[in-house]
Chain A
Amino acid sequence: MFRLALKSLLNRRGTVLLTVFTIAISTALLVGVERLRGEARNSFSSTLSGTDLIVGARSGAVQLLLYSVFRMGEPTANVSWQTYQEVANAPSVAWTVPLSLGDSHRGYRVLGTTQAYFEHYRYGRRQPLSFADGQPFDGVYEAVLGSEVAQKLGYSTGSDIVLAHGIGRVSFANHDDKPFTVVGVLAPTGTPVDRTVHVSLAAIEAIHLDWQSGTRMPGRGISAEQALEHDLTPKSITAFLVGLDNRMAAFTLQRQVNEYRAEPLSAILPGVALQQLWSLTGVAENALRIVAACVVVVGLLGMLTALLTTLNERRREMAILRSVGARPRTVLGLLVLEAGALTVAGIALGLLLLYATIAFTRELAASRFGLFLGLGAPGPAELVALGAILIAGLIVGLLPAWLAYRRSLSDGLTIRT
């Protein structure tokens, strides 16, 4: 019976191909949206691991998370160095990594930090940062580049770079009097680390010695060498990551930080903040899913139209089948089978399309949007989507099948054309 259905379909390959193609495109879209969503979440979740708290000036949890870890948006205020020291020296704290943001290099953000960053920062499944080349910075005018910065701008260890004030892609205020030497390049991580220029906190301090309120003060030029003689202890930092001896202490410390009197601070649990972010993006994600689902519905309606229009031409076929002994139920089954075969073929072609598209665009997605689209087998959410398409296809197929069933009962062996 399956071969009969298949041969009947092949006989109408023109319309059948178009129908399959419509279903394929809608499948690719639906699964593509699902994959994009999954990978976006994945890349966000895998950016930071092993950090128990993030502390910054008082702001929303999502905002603090975005600017401190994802280099998105701008910090509202800073945390004073003294406060940082106090929290860092709290008994339950195992380590801290200070983060100082605000400068950039040709569109890539500059992060002032300490060597603790290379020691304690973890991403993905608690993987530490590793060096593709060179080592952590030691001197003031030394920089460590993320892999993408090095690759895109053609830098390697030994290159000289000039940082720019502010975070615009094009900057007119350059710290060109204090060039940096690249001493290390990190291995790719698939996180914003790849797009970051890392320097020491002292470096951030040094390049801003002769600046005030965001502009260089005329006539107060301090050369790179002179700067080294100043006290380069920072007065403030943007935020810091905290690792604890015991994760259970996170809530206690979080409360203490949030109730800190001397300065308004926020301490966030990265996982909780991420959940808040998901609940924000969830609306947009669902909108995308609904649109994709609508496209699937349109695709299936196309199949319904194709099946219904052929039904009249196929009354003869059904009468012949009936005459040789096919039961009305067989006619029904034949048409449902047909719809099923169309849907399965559409799904298969759709997946093929999707994987081909991913294979061709993954470079672009990774470099432009930091999305690492995998070519792995469909995940659970995607399988659910595929299953839903198949079931919807069979349900859609039931309508013409039922019509053919009714007709084959009333037509019997009489061929009506």
Chain B
Amino acid sequence: MTDSSRPVVDIDALRFAWPQHPPLLDIAALRIAPGEAVFLQGASGSGKSTLLNLLGGVLVPQSGRLDVLGQSLPSLRAAQRDRFRADHVGFIFQQFNLLPYLDLVGNVTLGCRFSPRKRERLGNTAAIDADARRLLSALGLDVESLQQRSVTGLSVGQQQRVAAARALIGAPELVIADEPTSALDANARAAFIKLLFEECRRAGSALIFVSHDPALASLFPRSLTLDEINRAARTAEAA
């Protein structure tokens, strides 16, 4: 159902508005190639979250094309979109990414419960756990000593790396990071992004990194601002 030569994200004339509200998003075109790392800058309230919800298949646009991995998301039913997200998209949030009642490895493998494709790809529970440990180690976490502790005791930087491991497990084609570094200090920020790049490259995942901070753009091979691609923002400003 997916094709490696196709763009990971292919948006064409996408329009989205909340009911009884003016259009929030109006994107003429946005293409992201497989394995590409893209920085997307946008201020809060610019429709950033909405775009991520669209890419994740939680929301559907009123019109236009929204293909992820060649699959038209609006043509899928809600449950199919949830399943598609579980199988092909990894998310990293700003902070508080972890479920306090699961341990380190449990938090990383959480998504595999909802994705038959990831389970199939990784094998049995032991293999899934092993891959989680491999990812955590690759992201610089000492699994053996941290596994025994509650995840709420981890530092913010450690928590974000656990979240990255969760997004990357099972090698989804697309990783979406929503302000993952805003709670980190400058040094940790650069180190985190570097690790994220490496692991995305290893997994072959495309990365969409969203932030309000334009200073980070220089770290990425390609950077966009939401205001550039979103015609609705310009119309709103003009009005």
Report yes or no: A327 in contact with B102, Cβ–Cβ below 8 A. no
Q: Within 8 Å CB of B115, what residues of A? A: 324-325
| Cross-interface CB contact of B110 among A324, A329, A413, cutoff 8 Å | A324
A226 adjacent to chain B (CB < 8 Å)? no
B74 adjacent to chain A (CB < 8 Å)? no
Q: Within 8 Å CB of A417, what residues of B? A: 96
Q: Within 8 Å CB of B111, what residues of A? A: 324-325
Extra A-B contacts (20), CB below 8 Å, given A317-B99, A324-B115, A327-B79: A1-B113, A7-B101, A11-B100, A319-B93, A320-B99, A320-B110, A323-B93, A324-B110, A324-B111, A324-B113, A325-B82, A325-B111, A325-B115, A326-B82, A326-B86, A327-B78, A413-B53, A413-B56, A413-B178, A415-B93
Report yes or no: A327 in contact with B82, Cβ–Cβ below 8 A. yes
Q: Fill in one digit per residue for B65-107: 1 if any A CB lies within 8 Å of its CB, else 0.
A: 0000000000000110011011100010110111111100000
Query: How far does the Cβ of B112 sit from chain A's closest Cβ, in whole Å?
Result: 9
Chain A contact residues: over half helix, strand or loop, or mixed?
helix
Q: How far is the CA of A417 from the CA of B166 in the complex (A)?
A: 21
Report yes or no: A413 in contact with B58, Cβ–Cβ below 8 A. yes
Query: How far does the Cβ of A229 sit from chain B's closest Cβ, in whole Å?
Result: 91
User: Known: A325-B87, A412-B59. Contact between A320 and B82, CB under 8 A?
Assistant: no
Count of interface residues, chain B, beta-carbon cutoff 8 Å: 30
Q: How far is the CA of A323 from the CA of B53 in the complex (A)?
A: 9
Report yes or no: A414 in contact with B101, Cβ–Cβ below 8 A. no
Report yes or no: A325 in contact with B96, Cβ–Cβ below 8 A. no
Closest 9 CB pairs of A and B: A325-B86, A11-B101, A324-B111, A325-B114, A412-B58, A323-B91, A7-B101, A412-B53, A327-B82
Report yes or no: B79 in contact with A322, Cβ–Cβ below 8 A. no
Q: Which residue of A lies closest to B107 (CB)?
A: A320
Residues of A74-111 contacting chain B, CB below 8 A = none
Q: How far is the CA of A412 from the CA of B56 in the complex (A)?
A: 9
B49 adjacent to chain A (CB < 8 Å)? yes
Report yes or no: B56 in contact with A324, Cβ–Cβ below 8 A. no
B52 adjacent to chain A (CB < 8 Å)? yes
Q: Fill in one digit per residue for B15-53: 1 if any A CB lies within 8 Å of its CB, else 0.
A: 000000000000000000000000000000000010011
Q: Which residue of B lies closest to A10 (CB)?
A: B101
Interface residues of A (CB under 8 A from B): 1, 4, 7-8, 10-11, 316-317, 319-330, 412-415, 417
Q: Within 8 Å CB of B82, what residues of A? A: 322, 325-328
Q: How far is the CA of A256 from the CA of B58 in the complex (A)?
A: 85
Q: Within 8 Å CB of A317, what residues of B? A: 99
Query: How far does the Cβ of B98 sit from chain A's closest Cβ, in whole Å?
Result: 8
Most buried by A among B58, B93, B111, B178: B58
Q: Within 8 Å CB of B114, what residues of A? A: 324-326, 330
Report yes or no: A414 in contact with B49, Cβ–Cβ below 8 A. yes
Query: How far does the Cβ of B26 sit from chain A's closest Cβ, in whole Å?
Result: 20
Query: How far does the Cβ of A334 sit from chain B's closest Cβ, in whole Å?
Result: 12
Q: Within 8 Å CB of A8, what residues of B? A: 99, 101
**28 A-B residue pairs with CB within 8 Å:** A1-B113, A4-B113, A7-B101, A7-B102, A8-B99, A11-B100, A11-B101, A319-B93, A320-B97, A320-B99, A321-B99, A323-B56, A323-B93, A324-B86, A324-B111, A324-B113, A324-B115, A325-B111, A326-B82, A326-B86, A327-B79, A412-B53, A412-B56, A412-B59, A413-B53, A413-B56, A413-B91, A414-B52
Q: Which residue of A lies closest to B87 (CB)?
A: A325
Q: Within 8 Å CB of A320, what residues of B? A: 93, 97-99, 110
Q: How far is the CA of A352 from the CA of B113 in the complex (A)?
A: 35
Q: Within 8 Å CB of A319, what residues of B? A: 93
Q: Which residue of A lies closest to B55 (CB)?
A: A413
Q: How far is the CA of A381 from the CA of B178 in the complex (A)?
A: 56
Q: How far is the CA of A28 from the CA of B121 in the complex (A)?
A: 50
Q: How far is the CA of A317 from the CA of B49 in the complex (A)?
A: 17
Q: Within 8 Å CB of B99, what residues of A? A: 8, 317, 320-321
Q: Within 8 Å CB of A412, what residues of B? A: 53, 56, 58-59
Most buried by B among A319, A324, A328: A324
Query: How far does the Cβ of B25 sit from chain A's closest Cβ, in whole Å?
Result: 14
Report yes or no: B110 in contact with A415, Cβ–Cβ below 8 A. no
Q: Which residue of B lies closest to A317 (CB)?
A: B99
Q: Which residue of B lies closest to A324 (CB)?
A: B111
Q: Within 8 Å CB of A1, what residues of B? A: 113
Q: Within 8 Å CB of B91, what residues of A? A: 323-324, 413
Q: Within 8 Å CB of A330, what residues of B? A: 114
Q: How far is the CA of A297 from the CA of B98 in the complex (A)?
A: 35
Query: How far does the Cβ of A338 sit from chain B's closest Cβ, in whole Å?
Result: 12
Q: How far is the CA of A87 from the CA of B208 in the complex (A)?
A: 103
Q: Which residue of B lies closest to A409 (CB)?
A: B58
Q: Within 8 Å CB of B93, what residues of A? A: 319-320, 323, 413, 415
Q: How far is the CA of A390 from the CA of B115 in the complex (A)?
A: 32
Q: Within 8 Å CB of A324, what residues of B? A: 86, 91, 110-111, 113-115, 166
User: Known: A11-B100, A415-B94. Contact between A325 and B53, CB under 8 A?
Assistant: no
